[in-house]
Structure 1
Amino acid sequence: MDVVLGLQWGDEGKGKFIDLISENYNITARFNGGANAGHSIERNGKRITLKSLPSGIFMNGVQNVIGTGTVLDPVSLRKEILNLKQFDETVEPENNLIISKKAHLVLPTHRLLDIFMEDSPEYTTIGTTRNGIAQAYSNKILRQNVRVEDIDSPDFENRVKHILERDYRLLAGGDRVLPPLEEISGEFFEAIDFLKKFTRTETEIFLNTALSEGKKILAEGSQAAMLDIDHGTYPYVTSSSTTAAGACSGLGISPKKIGEIFGIAKAYCTRVGNGAFPTEIFDDLGEEIRNKGNEFGSNTGRPRRIGWLDLVALRYAIMINGVTQVILTKADILSGMKSVAVCTHYELENGEIMTVSGTLPENARPILKPVEGWKGDISAIENASGLPKELRAFLSFLNDEIGVPVTYLSTGPGRHQIFKIG
């Protein structure tokens, strides 16, 4: 099993890379997160954002798995699949999508609780996507939630109604305006009926059987390493394990079965929501990069914060994941700049640090190294030999700094604007 994951704060371009290589695999499997993720894929000049569906859904002959470590919102999934069919009528998720029976469900009131907590001064404002992901995971840990396998239980509807009514009573205080309970309940159970069309099974058995038969699996992570619930910049993180280890627990596959670990990183950094971001750019240049790179959330449309490439955080992400190859994206966005900056280390009062944990130290000053920029439009370049010498020097510099080879380079937003360089 090979793994693809983000090495920064998300939005690195994982969907595009997975779309490129998934034809080399028999199975693509999502191992964490839910509808808070947004993997954008281009097809026939059009772009679509996948939220819960694995990015191999377009590939003929590739089986797609929504694994046990995910949380599944039936309402969101139904909308996503119906949208997908309008986008490409040849796609048949009923035939190539398998859902773990053990995946937990996101309930309608989880979304409402998420919104309430984000808006309430009584709680820390995290900057979530307001999709109820944390609430679903927290109820999973509290052993108070329902799973996909429960939808076939004769008392499923009564159990869910009890939870919805309980949550609704909790939310109904004060002057909050809530949608009618009957409305959100009806939409949810309609989506549950839709969900029953799809194969639901013990995906850990399915996946391990496939490996024993010599089939190749690509594990797809959502969000990124610096948003990991344990190892990220807590509390401004996601609610699941985003690391290579999370792929094992989320899919039920032994760490001994992992082969390549592909880490995706941008040539600069972005972050959505609150939390530490040492290399953030606050002047007009940040706005220029944001607009040129279309740095707005694929799921929410929120403007992303922009920063220079942070090698201190990148080394940490590579270390905790055991990354074997780095894929660099968005190099084209920095084209035309006289120089670009890279954070090589942080400076503290008592010295400097080259690698930092997810808990970024207070009063750490990022030390930026200027690197000669590259000119011209690189979007039509198809191999490493055609790259400007300045960009080749930048890639060589990165290889030396992070200790892991940069093996692919993305040169534009198009599906085929990515090629192997090492």
Structure 2
Amino acid sequence: MSCLIIVGGQWGDEGKGKVISYICSKDKPDVIARGGVGPNAGHTVNVKGKSYGIRMVPTGFPHKEAKLAIGAGVLVDPEVLLKEVEMLKEFNVKERLIVDYRAGIIEEKHKLMDRQDEHLSKEIGTTGSGCGPANVDRVLRILKQAKDIEELKEFLGDVSELLNDTLDNGGDVLIEGTQGTFLSLYYGTYPYVTSKDTTASSFAADVGIGPTKVDDVLVVFKSYPTRVGAGPFPTEMSEEEAERLGLVEYGTVTGRRRRVGYFDFEMAKKACRLNGATQIAITGLDKYDKSCYGVREYNKLTKKARDFIEKIEEVTKVPVTIISTGPGMNQTIDLRAEKL
């Protein structure tokens, strides 16, 4: 693996948690580092039938041999982080977690500002987690850093040094991005976006590695894209149609019902370009074609499903290497050995 970045190719909620868990279980990276915005992104991880909603700890936590890192570019809510560390104590997260001492800190005032701001809360539909106002303070150079917070003292370290040393010594690093490409402050559906860039280049910067250290970028797409909050959604279907197709979902952080749409091939092509994708993962193929549920071999997929995968490859010019056919870790088709 060397250095792999995993990125959402839509508006978040693409199933990155499942893909990350699968790759960690197979490839066993030495360090799993989290880039991205902060606790406004939620990931659901299923371990032995139990679901964990995670907002701060890297979602590769079930792989107990890896160090877990939160990069300097990530905003940290100490309250959320410490609750998760406690919740995940059976995975020894406390002993493995390194928070970069330069990471920005979300305070209660940032959350209040986020929720009370009419533009952010009503028009944009932010999560209310304080990330936008905290990033404003970071730009103004008045935001506190992790090194200023006593409760985080035992977790502090230099994530950039850790990752570069690991790579220089022949180790493997997995970098988790959060949100999705089209929530990027630069390349997303502005102004209905998050408060910073959410593409692979920024995730590398978040954890302190240069672009020449990145070997692969895996972009994750869901067979039916979803979106929480306001903003353009060209292929959006009605709530009634989503219910008919069994595609009712709720956001991990907000609990709001997700808007659902049909797969957008041109949008996928654009996401691959923006991220420099070398691989694609498709999740929820069993939602696209229910008869694919749990299938673990590509040649056992239906023609409808194979045609869908092949069209994605044709349009994006990027190989589909991982296909998820259900929530379970073993409900995965891994084509990396054949296509890379």
Place the TM-score, normalised by the shorter chain, in its bin.
over 0.9
d(CA) in 2 for partners of 1:26 and 1:403?
30
Q: Whole-Å Cα distance in 1 between the matches of residues 121 and 263 of structure 2?
A: 31
After the TM superposition, which of the residue ranges 74-83 and 249-258 deviates more from structure 2? 74-83
Q: Where does residue 236 of structure 2 map in the other structure?
A: 280
Q: Which residue of 2 aligns with 1:357?
A: none
Deviations 1:113-148 (A, max 9, x none): 00001xx36987211110001111111011111101
Q: Deviation string for 1:257-314 (max 9, x for gaps)?
A: 111100000112111101111111125212334xx34411112211000111111221
- CA distance 1:26–1:81, change in 2 (3 Å): same
Select the residue among 260, 272, 275 that pairs with 1:318. Answer: 272
**Could you say which residue in structure 2 is the equivalent of 1:83?**
87
Shift of the 122–418 alpha-carbon distance from structure 1 to 2, 3 Å rule, reads closer
Which deviations, in whole Å up to 9, do the C-alpha atoms of 1:66-108 show, x marking residues without a partner?
A: 00110000011112222223xxx2x111211101000000001
Kept after mapping to 2: 8 A contact 1:409/1:418: yes
Find the counterpart in structure 1 of residue 4 from structure 2: 2
State the SS of the aligned residue for 1:102. Answer: coil
> How far apart are 1:334 and its partner, in Å?
2.3
> Which residue number corresponds to residue 391 of structure 1?
305
Cα root mean square deviation, aligned: 1.6
CA distance in 1 between partners of 2:305 and 2:73 (Å):
39
Partners of 1:41 and 1:415 within 8 A in 2? no
- Which residue does the alignment assign to 1:143? 141
Q: Distance in 2 between matches of 1:283 and 1:294?
A: 8
TM-score (normalised: structure 2): 0.93
**Contact residue 223 and residue 282 of structure 2 kept, 8 A:** yes
Q: Where in structure 2 are there 5+ consecutive unaligned residues?
A: none
- Superposition deviation, residue 332 in structure 1: 0.7
1:132 and 2:130 aligned: yes
Match of 1:52 among 21, 36, 56: 56
Identify the residue that residue 224 of structure 2 maps to in structure 1.
268
Q: After the TM superposition, which residues 21-420 of structure 1 pair with which residues of structure 2 at under 5 Å, given as runs?
A: 21-23=23-25, 24=27, 25-85=29-89, 89=90, 91-117=91-117, 120=118, 125-151=123-149, 192-193=150-151, 195-198=152-155, 200-282=156-238, 284-289=240-245, 292-335=246-289, 376=291, 378-420=292-334
Counterpart AA for 1:420: D
Q: Describe the shift of the 1:208–1:10 C-alpha distance in structure 2 as closer, same or farther (beyond 3 A).
A: same
State the one-letter code of the partner of 2:102. K
Tell me the distance in 1 between the aligned counterparts of 2:159 and 2:56: 16
The residue identity in structure 2 corresponding to 1:396 is E
Q: Is the partner of 1:42 in helix, strand or coil?
A: strand
Distance change (3 Å), C-alpha of 1:335 and 1:80: same
Matched residue SS, 2:186: coil
State the alpha-carbon separation in 2 of the partners of residues 388 and 217 from structure 1.
35
Q: Secondary structure at the match of 1:115?
A: helix
Amino acid paired to 1:126 = I
- Asked if the contact 1:16–1:415 (Cα under 8 Å) also holds between the matched residues in 2, the reply is yes
Compute the TM-score of the two structures, normalised by the length of structure 1.
Answer: 0.76
Larger Cα-atom Rg: 1
C-alpha contact 2:248 2:258 (8 A) present in aligned 1: no
SS of aligned partner of 1:197: helix
| C-alpha distance in 1 between matches for 2:67 and 2:34 | 11
> Relative contact order: is structure 1 or structure 2 higher (C-alpha 8 Å, sep ≥ 6)?
2
What residue identity is the alignment partner of 1:97?
L
Question: 1:43, 1:203 → 2: CA distance?
Answer: 26
Alpha-carbon separation, structure 2, partners of 1:328 and 1:5: 12
Deviation at 1:407, TM superposition (A): 1.1
Given residue 226 of structure 1, which amino acid in structure 2 is its aligned partner? F
Q: Which amino acid aligns with 1:267?
A: S
Q: Is the 8 A contact 2:68 2:96 kept in 1?
A: yes
2:239/2:259 contact within 8 Å kept: no
Flag structure 1 segments of 5+ consecutive residues without an equivalent: 152-191, 337-375
- 1-side partners of 2:9 and 2:171: how far apart? 27
Contact kept in structure 2, 1:229 and 1:238, CA below 8 Å: yes
CA distance in 2: counterparts of 1:123 and 1:40, whole angstroms:
24
Percent sequence identity over aligned pairs: 36
The residue number in structure 2 matching 1:14 is 16
Give the number of equivalent residue pairs.
332
CA contact (8 A) 1:33 1:133 kept: yes
CA distance in 2, matches of 1:380, 1:277: 29
Q: 1:143 to 1:302 in 2, by over 3 A?
A: same
